A = this chain, B = another copy of it.
């Protein structure tokens, strides 16, 4: 076990044993709990000190104007911002006269621990007040994965050496004071006092506060109920105002005695339902939680997680830190999507208000691949959410003069919220990414009902968009000028290879599935002519290639640009904070995998040699100022045989938040990178690709790893893949009759229950030497690092 300061390396939990106040924001994100519907940042029970208070309900947002110095046609006029709703985490404690506040008195020990198998955040504090009274506070917190509207806290105070009068104030507080966030444009805008009090409902048993957002007009209710155990005379008071409710518990305890409080929380919101309906709904949720009780909630949580880990765990042998990180990552990905249920999965999950709580292509492009193979129902639900916004996307396309559906670059409820179109609306590839997620889900599950319910319509309307965006030139090639690809250091470029390939794939998939489900296609107005037009455009798509250099330009002309002066930028990352867009756009500098991502997602469109040369070329100019890059670079580096480089990238993707590599973990976790850690391992070293022909693997391990094992779901069957240095074993375990045909290094193999298949690994030999990166942007080495040599990026 390597000690890395506040976080010891342990396989199944994240623990902190110190509480540096300047790292509070990061800790609040790391220790955030969520079920995809409710999100609670890891704020201290007593509320202060805090970096950013955070209690979120998925898709509960406030509207705000989007201002422009110079407006233009089609610019969205209002945006959406995730609201910090009524805080139910708050439990204040008065120890005799002194408020329990770690900034005062003496802290003997502090520990918080997030257990990935129980889903519980545990805290233990041993503290002496400024007046010399010592108490031990223990709390456990959960956001229920089985009771979607419920969270709960067990709060225990033990008096140590002198009699103490304890006052515990357990609260609900609306409109908390928000911190002033940085001037970094990536950090979201914050709204002050977004909640308007509607009503308060309370008795000695429970308190429910109902609020409404001013502009978006959404109703929400938060409720709390308590169970109190005390060995002494205890008085309980309930007090309620418009913006807060408070249950006060007072008692005097002798040394060794403990006060135990179980706080049950319930939340509900709606844009349609009435105030009384919402109040009732929350009250019912509280009743159900009381019925389960704390122990019941804890047990259900454990069962849910056991089931999850059984089919999702990734075992890494040889790097304990990576092992911990990938489980941390999977746990948070689970939290973000588990119970989102037809709501969006934001880029930061519900762990912070960064990026205004918006959902980007991160969901379909990075989070859904992981969920598709580990919790396919959650992936389907996320796509159902997209489908639920289809009408808005069709309206947006119409405003833009296009056909089909133009999904928003960033949004909470489906409306375009991007106020900078060159890196927003113009990144139309998002639509193809949604289509690819549909295809991936369908390939992995064979869920035809989903295709007929909504998948086909998503494919059809995005295909229509592409047809209206593209055109044939005089030589019959099909082009997409003026698109922004994934790389946000290029914009509005012609024939971006990624976008062109993804659009072609979108068109081809739409045509194929329309042909497979002709009745549904006709219902959507698709005729054979339209299908043919889709196939033709896909066939005619123009893919620029630089013959002289033997590489694909990211977009037409890209390889002719001047190369960015990386030497001069050595300490100026992220570049977007130090250089104007126009300068970034006109030079060879890549923020994040773009052509590289095309080589992963459209793997079959490139030869092995092209991949090797492209990786070599783009590694040298990619600065990874985006958290969406390392995981993709891991996959392609692994594919072309740079296994150790891939290992470094996988490590970086997994550790992004634990090491705060982008210096903004405090605004929320990077869900795409965390999901990408799974991808880096499973698609990178496992070589997983889902093809029309079936599930493919081509495993290889980097130096330093002695074993990598993971389980994926494919058409309802759990397949375990255990990779060792020279061989891989495929096992299925779903009942006595489970059978799967998968491909190993291109060859089909049959795996049935009870008969694991072991195959030797194909040796990967890189065509070219390991490439270099821009100076100062080399990935951290995953191999043999200890605290003393690892420096956090500045």
Chain A positions within 8 Å of B, measured between CB atoms, are 66-76, 79, 185, 399-402, 418-422, 424-426, 471, 473-474, 479, 481-482, 491-492, 494, 548, 556-557, 560-562, 576-583, 585-587
Whether A420 and B582, one on each chain, are in contact in the complex, defined by CB atoms closer than 8 angstroms, is no
Whether A70 and B420, one on each chain, are in contact in the complex, defined by CB atoms closer than 8 angstroms, is yes
Q: How far is the CB of A371 from chain B (nearest CB, A)?
A: 29
C-alpha gap A671/B34 in the complex (Å) = 61
Whether B557 and A481, one on each chain, are in contact in the complex, defined by CB atoms closer than 8 angstroms, is yes
Known A557-B481, A561-B481, A580-B425: A585·B68 in contact at CB below 8 Å:
no
Q: How far is the CB of A92 from chain B (nearest CB, A)?
A: 38
Whether A72 and B419, one on each chain, are in contact in the complex, defined by CB atoms closer than 8 angstroms, is no
Specify which chain B residues have a CB less than 8 angstroms from the CB of A421 in the assembled complex. Answer: 580-582
Known A494-B557, A557-B494, A562-B471: A582·B482 in contact at CB below 8 Å:
yes
C-alpha gap A491/B482 in the complex (Å) = 10
Whether A185 and B481, one on each chain, are in contact in the complex, defined by CB atoms closer than 8 angstroms, is no
Identify 13 residue pairs between A and B in the complex whose beta-carbon atoms are under 8 Å apart, listed by A's number: A66-B69, A67-B69, A69-B419, A72-B576, A401-B579, A471-B562, A479-B560, A481-B560, A481-B562, A491-B492, A492-B582, A494-B557, A494-B586
C-alpha gap A482/B72 in the complex (Å) = 21
C-alpha gap A578/B400 in the complex (Å) = 9
Specify which chain B residues have a CB less than 8 angstroms from the CB of A578 in the assembled complex. Answer: 73
Whether A581 and B69, one on each chain, are in contact in the complex, defined by CB atoms closer than 8 angstroms, is no
Specify which chain B residues have a CB less than 8 angstroms from the CB of A494 in the assembled complex. Answer: 557, 586
Known A473-B560, A492-B585, A557-B481: A401·B580 in contact at CB below 8 Å:
yes
Known A473-B560, A580-B421, A582-B492: A68·B67 in contact at CB below 8 Å:
yes
Specify which chain B residues have a CB less than 8 angstroms from the CB of A418 in the assembled complex. Answer: 69-70
Whether A400 and B580, one on each chain, are in contact in the complex, defined by CB atoms closer than 8 angstroms, is yes
Known A68-B68, A482-B585, A557-B557: A577·B73 in contact at CB below 8 Å:
yes
The residue of chain B having its C-beta at the shortest distance from the C-beta of A561 within the complex is B481
Known A418-B70, A577-B73, A580-B421: A482·B586 in contact at CB below 8 Å:
yes
Whether B71 and A185, one on each chain, are in contact in the complex, defined by CB atoms closer than 8 angstroms, is yes
Whether A73 and B419, one on each chain, are in contact in the complex, defined by CB atoms closer than 8 angstroms, is no
Specify which chain B residues have a CB less than 8 angstroms from the CB of A76 in the assembled complex. Answer: 69
Whether A422 and B422, one on each chain, are in contact in the complex, defined by CB atoms closer than 8 angstroms, is yes
Whether A581 and B68, one on each chain, are in contact in the complex, defined by CB atoms closer than 8 angstroms, is no
The residue of chain B having its C-beta at the shortest distance from the C-beta of A579 within the complex is B401
**9 tightest A-B CB contacts, nearest first:** A69-B419, A482-B586, A67-B67, A471-B562, A74-B580, A66-B69, A70-B420, A481-B586, A70-B419
Specify which chain B residues have a CB less than 8 angstroms from the CB of A577 in the assembled complex. Answer: 73
Specify which chain B residues have a CB less than 8 angstroms from the CB of A482 in the assembled complex. Answer: 582, 585-586
The residue of chain B having its C-beta at the shortest distance from the C-beta of A77 within the complex is B69
Integer count of this chain's copies in the complex: 2
Give 8 A-B pairs besides A72-B420, A491-B492 with Cβ atoms closer than 8 angstroms. Answer: A70-B185, A72-B580, A421-B581, A421-B582, A474-B548, A479-B561, A556-B557, A557-B557
Specify which chain B residues have a CB less than 8 angstroms from the CB of A66 in the assembled complex. Answer: 69
Q: How far is the CB of A304 from chain B (nearest CB, A)?
A: 39
Specify which chain B residues have a CB less than 8 angstroms from the CB of A69 in the assembled complex. Answer: 66-68, 75-76, 79, 418-420
The residue of chain B having its C-beta at the shortest distance from the C-beta of A480 within the complex is B586
Specify which chain B residues have a CB less than 8 angstroms from the CB of A71 in the assembled complex. Answer: 185
Specify which chain B residues have a CB less than 8 angstroms from the CB of A579 in the assembled complex. Answer: 73-74, 401
C-alpha gap A257/B420 in the complex (Å) = 66
Q: How far is the CB of A784 from chain B (nearest CB, A)?
A: 38
C-alpha gap A556/B494 in the complex (Å) = 10
C-alpha gap A419/B586 in the complex (Å) = 20
Q: How far is the CB of A267 from chain B (nearest CB, A)?
A: 30
The residue of chain B having its C-beta at the shortest distance from the C-beta of A477 within the complex is B560
Specify which chain B residues have a CB less than 8 angstroms from the CB of A548 in the assembled complex. Answer: 474
Whether A580 and B68, one on each chain, are in contact in the complex, defined by CB atoms closer than 8 angstroms, is no
Known A471-B562, A556-B557, A586-B482: A581·B73 in contact at CB below 8 Å:
yes
Most buried by B among A66, A401, A548, A587: A401
The residue of chain B having its C-beta at the shortest distance from the C-beta of A186 within the complex is B70
Whether A73 and B582, one on each chain, are in contact in the complex, defined by CB atoms closer than 8 angstroms, is no
The residue of chain B having its C-beta at the shortest distance from the C-beta of A583 within the complex is B401
Specify which chain B residues have a CB less than 8 angstroms from the CB of A419 in the assembled complex. Answer: 68-70
Whether B72 and A185, one on each chain, are in contact in the complex, defined by CB atoms closer than 8 angstroms, is yes
Specify which chain B residues have a CB less than 8 angstroms from the CB of A586 in the assembled complex. Answer: 481-482, 492, 494
Specify which chain B residues have a CB less than 8 angstroms from the CB of A185 in the assembled complex. Answer: 70-72
C-alpha gap A426/B492 in the complex (Å) = 14
C-alpha gap A610/B671 in the complex (Å) = 56
The residue of chain B having its C-beta at the shortest distance from the C-beta of A424 within the complex is B70
Q: How far is the CB of A417 from chain B (nearest CB, A)?
A: 9
Specify which chain B residues have a CB less than 8 angstroms from the CB of A580 in the assembled complex. Answer: 72-74, 399-401, 421, 425
C-alpha gap A399/B494 in the complex (Å) = 28
Known A494-B557, A561-B481: A582·B425 in contact at CB below 8 Å:
yes
Most buried by B among A70, A76, A421, A586: A70
Q: How far is the CB of A487 from chain B (nearest CB, A)?
A: 14
Q: How far is the CB of A482 from chain B (nearest CB, A)?
A: 3
The residue of chain B having its C-beta at the shortest distance from the C-beta of A400 within the complex is B580
Most buried by B among A422, A424, A578: A422
C-alpha gap A185/B422 in the complex (Å) = 18
Q: How far is the CB of A571 from chain B (nearest CB, A)?
A: 15
Q: How far is the CB of A693 from chain B (nearest CB, A)?
A: 36
Specify which chain B residues have a CB less than 8 angstroms from the CB of A479 in the assembled complex. Answer: 560-561
C-alpha gap A211/B790 in the complex (Å) = 62
C-alpha gap A72/B584 in the complex (Å) = 12
Specify which chain B residues have a CB less than 8 angstroms from the CB of A67 in the assembled complex. Answer: 67-69
Q: How far is the CB of A72 from chain B (nearest CB, A)?
A: 6
Specify which chain B residues have a CB less than 8 angstroms from the CB of A491 in the assembled complex. Answer: 492
Specify which chain B residues have a CB less than 8 angstroms from the CB of A68 in the assembled complex. Answer: 67-69, 419-420
C-alpha gap A420/B422 in the complex (Å) = 11
Choose one: B73, B401, B560, B583; the contact of A576 (CB below 8 Å).
Answer: B73
Specify which chain B residues have a CB less than 8 angstroms from the CB of A73 in the assembled complex. Answer: 576-581
The residue of chain B having its C-beta at the shortest distance from the C-beta of A69 within the complex is B419
Specify which chain B residues have a CB less than 8 angstroms from the CB of A585 in the assembled complex. Answer: 482, 492
Specify which chain B residues have a CB less than 8 angstroms from the CB of A587 in the assembled complex. Answer: 481
Specify which chain B residues have a CB less than 8 angstroms from the CB of A424 in the assembled complex. Answer: 70
C-alpha gap A579/B421 in the complex (Å) = 13
C-alpha gap A74/B578 in the complex (Å) = 8
C-alpha gap A502/B71 in the complex (Å) = 29
Specify which chain B residues have a CB less than 8 angstroms from the CB of A422 in the assembled complex. Answer: 422, 492, 582
Whether A581 and B420, one on each chain, are in contact in the complex, defined by CB atoms closer than 8 angstroms, is no
Specify which chain B residues have a CB less than 8 angstroms from the CB of A426 in the assembled complex. Answer: 582
C-alpha gap A561/B480 in the complex (Å) = 9
The residue of chain B having its C-beta at the shortest distance from the C-beta of A468 within the complex is B583
Specify which chain B residues have a CB less than 8 angstroms from the CB of A556 in the assembled complex. Answer: 557
The residue of chain B having its C-beta at the shortest distance from the C-beta of A483 within the complex is B586
Most buried by B among A419, A424, A576, A582: A582
C-alpha gap A491/B421 in the complex (Å) = 13
The residue of chain B having its C-beta at the shortest distance from the C-beta of A580 within the complex is B74
C-alpha gap A556/B558 in the complex (Å) = 12
C-alpha gap A226/B580 in the complex (Å) = 55
Specify which chain B residues have a CB less than 8 angstroms from the CB of A400 in the assembled complex. Answer: 580, 582-583
Choose one: B72, B481, B492; the contact of A492 (CB below 8 Å).
Answer: B492
Specify which chain B residues have a CB less than 8 angstroms from the CB of A399 in the assembled complex. Answer: 580
